[in-house]
């Protein structure tokens, strides 16, 4: 303790005195000052605690130490000093003092202040932030006791007051620095009982014990930060006269520190809460600290975790244990299993107050930034708007299209498939997705407008509307046809053509009844799908992006298929239950015709069959040669009188069953056949008649590549079918069963094959049915009104309805006993001259060429009784070409009929010409030209005789030049003439519309 | 890093909300809200049958007899069933129709029920349509194929007519088919709605005459 060294200090060297500096922070402060070239004097007691710091500092020449015993002499010998650091906080390590200690301390402080003023130095009083907080809480909380007069709190309060008063009186450059609890590598024992216990528990025990709730707050600071802060604040002039809090900016609760310690992989694994008998019932910490040091340029350098790690390390060293800090991250995960306990009162209070505390803490922590709030609000609104008007429509449309695309591929197939359940499951989500895409596209309207893509939008919405109609219709269709598909799936015939013993008794009446009930669904399905088809067909595909164009074209095809299927299902569903005998047994006559020898309904009748159906099950099945039927009737002396027109033409008096198809209208044949069937004992009434000719069977055999027929040594194919039939006809004698057996076996095999096919296979040969029905190689008519209307409207019933009210109908009857029709070629010509809206002239001619080379079966002269059916009111103007010009004209089936022989010998050509006029009569509702408003409608219907081949037809129409043609599909128009050249392979219709000027 | 995280979360949220919006039936939900549902359940359905009275069922529920005006039905698809009340009920078939009721619109069924399944008259209802043009749209179908449709006396085309765009206003629709009685009905087209007109035509009874076959 040399006085000499102090007084030898050069005036340029600053001198700092640190009172109570024999501690870690005092040591660090002194060391820092020395390192900066400052002369440091520490005044403290010399004891075991202070010795190690002082011993270290004494190594420097710029350091000196005085014991308090020489305190008074110090200031006398010191000529100057610049800084004085009074570490009162270190003096406050015990809670209570005696009066002597109290007075002695205050005296030292007063002496120090006086000398500081004399030397014009800077003074810093370092006190305890924790004590100040405790004091404030005691003052603010009436329930807490006031501190004792000589407590550490009172001493700090007194000293701070003294410094403040001194400052007021002397304007001395001083400040009070309230220092947080110091932690760090150099702190052997933290100067806070609670924290010390926490740290001790954490390194020595497997659980940390917290008394009470652990919500009391602690202000901590690392030793380096404290040193730096004390120096920074003391050197700064703007801290003059200020009271400053020096600690980390955040306060920490005991609990949070305990968790932190657990996270740092200390010995302790859990936290245990215990009752605190000294609980101070501090509901809320109302302490308002002095301005923080950060306001004066100080900033925290060491974060809490780093500081705690150092402190824990120190505690571990004291217990001679090792601590592996590197395992901490893994440990943190494991700490999730930490069990937290609370006292009962603690639990109760925490549950009640924690929400309020959280809010209170958050409010305290976060200041409301108005600009930021507005910014966040506006951004949120913008994001919502962008989401709703931009992102959602795009995302929604994309999702929808993806979902639709995945399910639409198999839609057309599955709808028409018998696996209805799968179809329904596919359609339901599809319907929803189409609706959702519609909503999404709706939201994009503004985008289309902005981009000027109105046409694209319109077409897109139409596409969606079409898709909606399609899915709605498809769903109803699937529901409606379910019983039908089930029936087709489950059907097993009880009989076949060869055996008369039923193989099953199963009926399908419930399916048929369900089909009847579902008719309205089919109506609705048909309505929606036809609308959809119309909408989709009219879409302008080119406005869509190229990637979608193919899909839309594909969709057009799908909807067209569905529409076609729906129409058929709808029609069929309306009459099928009745035809299949839902209420009673229904019998049908099947006629096998040979068109090589043409007759009114298509050909010479070779065999016939009877099918009886009840409850959807076949209950009767019979087939026989037509001549056996004739023979049976003859033997039974059952005779029938032929129609007058027939007896006149063919000069016969008896009407055999084999000639029952005299009338061209198949419904007439149905009616006329009934008595024959009755007399044959095959049923009292017939519900329908079906005709099949050789061409139909040929078509099927062609597709199937032939069929095996029992009794035949070779496969029956389309090529050898005719020769087999000719052979049988040549060899036939009444009573023989050769022909019957072959045809029965052939029919049986065909029917068996048809019934064994599933719907998909049937759909594959649907074109054969459609073609042969259209070309009248396969025909059917029924008494059931709906069935008749359906087949008639399709021209499949050979019905001579009142729509044939203008063009002539030509009917041949080969009476030559050969197959000359196979060797004929024909040309038809019809010229229509519309004089005015009330008068029409028709000129009709038929030219026939017989290419038969010899009069040997099947070739020969074509001996034909020709009938031409014209409207009943027609006035015949000219007839030529009939044999010997001998013809008869009579009314039959609502027509005027011209009948006569029009024969064509082998290797010859013959022509028949007929012309007639039709004039509108008063009250005539069946005149071909219908005038409605300003329009004239003229439908020309051309009738093709069943069994006829495709012959050339020439149609020419001349109309008044004042009429304006509006439409004439299928016909060419030149000036006031229309013309068409085509092959008459089926019934044809040419609707013509004119606009008639007033 | 934090900003990227926020951006990613925002994008994810936007996409999630978009997907949610796609799947939520917003209109149906709004239609169930109190007070608001008044604007959604304000449809009107008028049913009348000429020359007779018919019983009405809507979605299987008995709604009395014709004529009837049923109001405040929620928007949606309905199955309407009509059965003519007659001594010989078997003579008249029960008819079922599926129609769409859209909010702020009315639908009308005006039919004469004939024997078996014959009908004469119209079913009329509106459905909304999205389009850029300010037009009303007309759809006409007939139970008789290729019926001729006239608009204010002008021939339009044969049935069906689908979504024919016309100016908003009142029109006179006439449907004619050979051999059938005509149907004439005034209609009101509204912008952005399709007027769906289903027409049913009675066939004109045929008078049979017996004619002796004789040579001329």
Which has more pLDDT, B83 or A336? B83
CB A162 within 8 A of CB A110: yes
CB A745 within 8 A of CB A716: no
Of A391, A645, A993, the CB nearest to B213: A645
Residues of B in contact with A449 (CB under 8 A): 132
Percent of chain A with pLDDT over 90: 28
| CA dihedral (A874, A876, A882, A888) positive or negative | positive
The whole-number pLDDT of residue A130 equals 86
Q: Return the structure tokens found at B111.
A: 């039919």
**Subunit contact B150:A396, Cβ cutoff 8 A:** no
Whether the pLDDT of residue A364 is over 70: the answer is no
**Subunit contact B130:A442, Cβ cutoff 8 A:** yes
Q: What is the pLDDT of residues A693-718, one digit of tens each?
A: 989 999 999 988 888 888 888 888 98
Please give the Cα distance from A984 to A830 (Å, whole number). Answer: 12
- The overall longest dimension of chain B from CA atoms, in Å, is 107
| Contact with chain B for residue A627, Cβ under 8 A | no
Whether the pLDDT of residue A334 is over 50: the answer is no
Whether the pLDDT of residue A100 is over 90: the answer is no
Average pLDDT over residues A568-589: 88
Q: Which of B189, B188, B197, B194 is closest to B121 using CA atoms?
A: B197
When the pLDDT of each residue in chain A is averaged and rounded to a whole number, the result is: 84
Whether the pLDDT of residue A865 is over 80: the answer is yes
Please give the Cα distance from B193 to B165 (Å, whole number). Answer: 10
Residues of A in contact with B15 (CB under 8 A): 391, 395
Question: Which residue matches tokens 């024999």?
Answer: A22
- State the best of A393, A887, A933 to mutate against chain B, taking most chain B CBs within 10 Å: A933
Please give the Cα distance from A447 to A8 (Å, whole number). Answer: 89
| Contact with chain A for residue B208, Cβ under 8 A | no
| Contact with chain A for residue B133, Cβ under 8 A | yes
Q: Phi/psi class of residue A214: alpha, beta or left (left: φ > 0; alpha: ψ in -120 to 50)?
A: left
The whole-number pLDDT of residue B214 equals 47
The whole-number pLDDT of residue A114 equals 85
Residues of B in contact with A932 (CB under 8 A): 148, 150, 155, 176
The whole-number pLDDT of residue A272 equals 83
Average pLDDT over residues A593-599: 91
Please give the Cα distance from A867 to A902 (Å, whole number). Answer: 9
Please give the Cα distance from A380 to B3 (Å, whole number). Answer: 16
- State the best of B132, B165, B174, B177 to mutate against chain A, taking most chain A CBs within 10 Å: B132
The band of A534, judged by pLDDT with boundaries at 50, 70 and 90, is confident
Of A399, A449, A527, the CB nearest to B22: A399
Please give the Cα distance from B45 to A976 (Å, whole number). Answer: 51
Of the candidate ranges A300-314, A579-593, B201-215, the one whose mean pLDDT is the lowest = B201-215
The band of A926, judged by pLDDT with boundaries at 50, 70 and 90, is confident
Of A449, A531, A793, the CB nearest to B162: A531
CB atoms within 10 A of CB A11: 8
| Contact with chain B for residue A400, Cβ under 8 A | yes
Residues of A in contact with B163 (CB under 8 A): 462, 465, 531, 534-535
DSSP string, A126-186: EEEHHHHHHHHHHHH-TTSPPPPTTBHHHHHHHHHHHHHHHHHHH--EEEEEEE-EEESTT
The whole-number pLDDT of residue A337 equals 42
| Contact with chain B for residue A439, Cβ under 8 A | yes
**Subunit contact B18:A387, Cβ cutoff 8 A:** yes
Chain B nearest C-alpha distance from A356 (Å) = 28
Please give the Cα distance from A741 to A726 (Å, whole number). Answer: 15
Please give the Cα distance from A791 to A785 (Å, whole number). Answer: 10
Of A391, A436, A933, the CB nearest to B150: A933
Residues of A in contact with B95 (CB under 8 A): 520
Of B17, B160, B214, the CB nearest to A387: B17
Q: Which of A243, A125, A122, A247 is closest to A183 using CA atoms?
A: A247
Residues of A in contact with B216 (CB under 8 A): 889-890
| Contact with chain B for residue A462, Cβ under 8 A | yes
Which has more pLDDT, A858 or A929? A929
Within 680-699 of A, beta carbons closer than 8 Å to B belong to none
Which has more pLDDT, A409 or A855? A855
Which has more pLDDT, A759 or B122? B122
Average pLDDT over residues A511-521: 84
Which has more pLDDT, A967 or A284? A967
CATH number for A809-995: choose from 2.30.29, 3.30.1490, 2.60.40, 3.30.70.
2.60.40
| Contact with chain A for residue B60, Cβ under 8 A | no
Chain A nearest C-alpha distance from B72 (Å) = 24
Q: How many CB pairs under 8 A join A and B?
A: 110
Q: What is the pLDDT of residues A939-949, one digit of tens each?
A: 999 999 999 99
pTM, two decimal places: 0.60
Question: Which residue matches tokens 């076959």?
Answer: B213
| Contact with chain B for residue A391, Cβ under 8 A | yes
The whole-number pLDDT of residue A758 equals 66
Average pLDDT over residues A608-632: 87
**Subunit contact A520:B95, Cβ cutoff 8 A:** yes
Of B21, B98, B141, the CB nearest to A396: B21
In words, the CATH class of domain A586-793 is alpha beta
Whether the pLDDT of residue A265 is over 60: the answer is yes
Average pLDDT over residues A70-85: 79
**Subunit contact A891:B213, Cβ cutoff 8 A:** yes
CB B89 within 8 A of CB B114: no
The band of A436, judged by pLDDT with boundaries at 50, 70 and 90, is confident
Could you say which DSSP state residue B118 is in?
-
Q: What is the pLDDT of residues A944-982, one digit of tens each?
A: 999 999 999 999 999 999 999 999 999 999 999 999 999
The whole-number pLDDT of residue A412 equals 54
| Contact with chain A for residue B160, Cβ under 8 A | yes
Q: Return the structure tokens found at A355.
A: 């929400």
Q: What is the pLDDT of residues A170-202, one digit of tens each?
A: 878 889 999 999 898 888 888 888 888 888 888
Q: What ipTM describes this predicted complex?
A: 0.80
Of A387, A462, A890, the CB nearest to B213: A890
The band of A333, judged by pLDDT with boundaries at 50, 70 and 90, is very low
> Is A660 exposed, middle or buried, given 0-12, 13-18 or 19+ CB atoms closer than 10 A?
buried
Break chain A into its structural domains and give their ranges: 383-579, 586-793, 809-995
> Is A269 exposed, middle or buried, given 0-12, 13-18 or 19+ CB atoms closer than 10 A?
middle
Of A391, A520, A890, the CB nearest to B96: A520
Please give the Cα distance from B2 to A87 (Å, whole number). Answer: 43
Average pLDDT over residues A121-146: 80
Give me the torsion for CA of A390, A393, A399, A404, rounded to 10°.
Answer: -150
Of B129, B155, B215, the CB nearest to A890: B215
């Amino acid at each position: 303790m040399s006085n000499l060294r102090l007084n030898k200090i050069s005036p340029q060297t600053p001198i700092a005195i640190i009172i109570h500096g024999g501690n870690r922070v005092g040591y660090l402060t002194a060391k820092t000052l020395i390192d900066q070239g400052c002369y440091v004097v520490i005044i403290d007691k010399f004891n075991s605690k202070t010795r190690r710091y002082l011993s270290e500092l004494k190594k420097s020449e710029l350091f000196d130490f005085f014991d308090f015993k020489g305190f008074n002499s110090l200031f006398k010998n010191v000529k100057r000093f610049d800084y004085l650091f009074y570490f009162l906080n270190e003096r406050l390590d015990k809670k209570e003092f005696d009066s002597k200690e109290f007075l002695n301390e205050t005296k030292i402080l007063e002496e120090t202040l006086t000398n500081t003023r004399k030397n014009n130095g800077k003074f810093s009083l370092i006190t305890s932030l924790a004590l100040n907080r405790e004091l404030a809480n005691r003052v603010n909380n009436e329930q807490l006791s006031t501190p004792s007069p000589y407590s550490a709190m009172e001493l700090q309060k007194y000293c701070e007051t003294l410094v403040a008063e001194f400052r007021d009186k002397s304007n001395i450059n001083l400040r009070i620095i309230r220092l947080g609890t110091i932690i760090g590598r150099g702190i052997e024992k933290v100067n806070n009982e609670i924290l010390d216990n926490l740290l001790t528990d954490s390194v020595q025990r497997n659980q940390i014990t917290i008394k009470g709730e652990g919500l009391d707050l602690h202000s901590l600071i690392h030793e380096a930060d404290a040193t730096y802060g004390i120096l920074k604040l003391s050197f700064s002039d703007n801290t003059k006269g200020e009271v400053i809090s020096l600690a980390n900016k955040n306060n920490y609760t005991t609990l949070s520190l305990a968790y932190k310690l657990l996270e740092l992989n200390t010995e302790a694994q859990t936290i245990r809460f215990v009752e605190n008998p000294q609980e101070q019932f501090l509901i809320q910490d109302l302490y308002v600290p002095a301005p923080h040091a950060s306001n004066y340029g100080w900033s925290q350098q060491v974060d809490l975790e780093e500081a705690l790690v150092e402190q824990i390390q120190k505690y571990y060293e004291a217990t001679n244990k090792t601590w592996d800090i590197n395992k901490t991250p893994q440990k943190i995960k494991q700490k999730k299993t930490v069990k937290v306990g609370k006292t009962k009162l603690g639990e109760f209070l925490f549950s009640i107050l924690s929400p309020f505390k959280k809010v209170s803490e958050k409010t305290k922590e976060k200041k409301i930034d108005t600009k930021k709030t507005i910014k966040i609000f506006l951004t949120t609104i913008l994001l919502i708007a962008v989401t709703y008007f931009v992102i959602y429509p795009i995302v929604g449309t994309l999702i929808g299209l993806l979902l639709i695309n995945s399910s639409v591929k198999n839609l057309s197939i599955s709808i028409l498939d018998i696996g209805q359940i799968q179809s329904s499951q596919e359609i339901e989500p599809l319907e929803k997705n189409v609706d959702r895409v519609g909503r999404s596209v709706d939201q994009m309207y503004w985008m289309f407008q902005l981009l000027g893509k109105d046409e694209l939008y319109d077409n897109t919405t139409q596409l969606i509307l079409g898709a909606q109609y399609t899915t709605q219709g498809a769903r109803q269709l699937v529901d409606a046809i379910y019983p039908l598909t089930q029936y087709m799936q489950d059907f097993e015939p009880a009989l076949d053509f060869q055996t008369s013993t039923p193989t099953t008794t199963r009926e399908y009446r419930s399916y048929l009844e369900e089909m009847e009930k579902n008719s309205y669904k089919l109506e609705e399905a048909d309505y929606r799908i036809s609308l959809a088809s119309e909408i989709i067909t009219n879409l302008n595909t080119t406005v869509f992006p190229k990637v979608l164009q193919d899909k839309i074209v594909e969709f057009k095809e799908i909807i067209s298929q569905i529409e076609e299927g729906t129409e058929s299902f709808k029609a069929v569903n309306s009459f099928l239950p009745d035809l299949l005998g839902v209420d009673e047994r229904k019998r049908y006559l099947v006629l096998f015709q040979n068109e090589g020898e043409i007759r009114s309904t298509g050909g010479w009748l070779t065999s016939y069959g009877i099918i009886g159906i009840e409850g959807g099950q076949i209950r009767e099945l019979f087939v026989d040669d037509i001549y056996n039927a004739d023979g049976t009737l003859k033997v039974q002396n059952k005779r029938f009188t032929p129609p007058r027109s027939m007896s006149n033409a063919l000069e016969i008096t008896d009407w055999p069953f084999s000639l029952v198809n005299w009338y061209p209208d198949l419904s007439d044949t149905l009616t006329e056949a009934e008595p024959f069937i009755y007399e044959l004992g095959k049923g009292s009434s017939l519900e329908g008649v079906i005709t099949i000719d050789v061409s139909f069977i040929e078509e099927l055999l062609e597709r199937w590549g032939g069929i095996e027929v029992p009794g035949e040594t070779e496969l029956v194919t389309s090529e050898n079918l005719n020769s087999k039939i000719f052979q049988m006809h040549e060899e036939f004698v009444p009573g023989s069963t050769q022909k019957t057996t072959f045809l029965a076996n052939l029919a049986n095999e065909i029917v068996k094959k048809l019934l064994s096919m599933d719907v998909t296979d049937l759909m594959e040969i649907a074109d054969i049915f459609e073609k042969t029905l259209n070309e009248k190689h396969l025909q059917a008519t029924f008494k059931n009104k709906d069935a008749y209307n359906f087949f008639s409207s399709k021209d499949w019933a050979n019905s001579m309805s009142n729509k044939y009210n203008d063009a002539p109908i030509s009917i041949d009857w080969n009476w030559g006993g050969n197959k000359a029709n196979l060797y004929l070629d024909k040309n038809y010509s019809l010229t229509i001259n519309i004089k005015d809206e009330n008068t029409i002239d028709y000129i009709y001619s038929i030219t026939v060429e017989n290419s038969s080379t010899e009069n040997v079966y099947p070739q020969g002269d074509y001996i034909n009784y020709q009938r031409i059916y014209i409207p009943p009111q027609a006035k015949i103007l000219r007839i030529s070409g009939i044999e010997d010009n001998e013809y008869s004209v009579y009314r039959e089936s609502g027509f005027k009929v011209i009948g006569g022989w029009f024969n064509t010998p082998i290797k010859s050509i013959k022509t028949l010409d007929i012309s007639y006029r039709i004039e509108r009569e008063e009250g005539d509702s069946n005149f071909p030209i219908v005038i409605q408003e300003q329009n004239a409608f003229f439908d020309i219907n051309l009738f093709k005789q069943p069994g006829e081949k495709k012959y050339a037809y020439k149609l020419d129409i001349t109309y008044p030049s004042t009429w304006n043609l509006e439409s004439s599909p299928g016909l060419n128009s030149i000036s006031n003439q229309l013309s068409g050249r085509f092959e008459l392979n089926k019934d044809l219709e040419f609707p013509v519309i004119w606009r008639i000027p007033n | 890093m934090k900003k990227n995280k926020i951006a990613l979360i925002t994008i994810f949220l936007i996409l999630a909300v978009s997907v949610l919006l796609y799947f939520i039936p917003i209109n149906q939900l709004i239609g169930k809200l109190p007070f608001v549902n008044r604007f959604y359940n304000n449809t009107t359905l008028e049913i009348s049958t000429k020359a007779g009275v018919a019983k009405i069922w809507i979605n299987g529920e008995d709604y009395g007899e014709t004529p009837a005006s049923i109001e405040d039905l929620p928007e949606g698809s309905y199955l309407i069933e009509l059965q003519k009340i007659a001594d010989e009920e078997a003579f008249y078939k029960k008819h079922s129709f599926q129609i769409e009721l859209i909010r702020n619109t009315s639908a009308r069924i005006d039919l004469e029920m004939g024997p078996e399944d014959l009908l004469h008259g119209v079913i009329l209802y509106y459905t909304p349509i999205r389009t850029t043009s300010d037009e009303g749209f007309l759809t006409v179908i007939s139970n008789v194929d290729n019926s001729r449709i006239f608009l204010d006396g002008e021939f339009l085309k044969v049935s069906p007519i689908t979504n024919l765009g016309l100016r908003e206003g009142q029109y006179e629709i006439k449907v004619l088919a050979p051999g059938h009685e005509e149907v004439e009905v005034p209609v009101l087209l509204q912008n952005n709605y399709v007027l769906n007109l289903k027409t049913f035509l009675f066939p004109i009874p045929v008078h049979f005459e017996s004619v002796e076959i004789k040579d001329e």
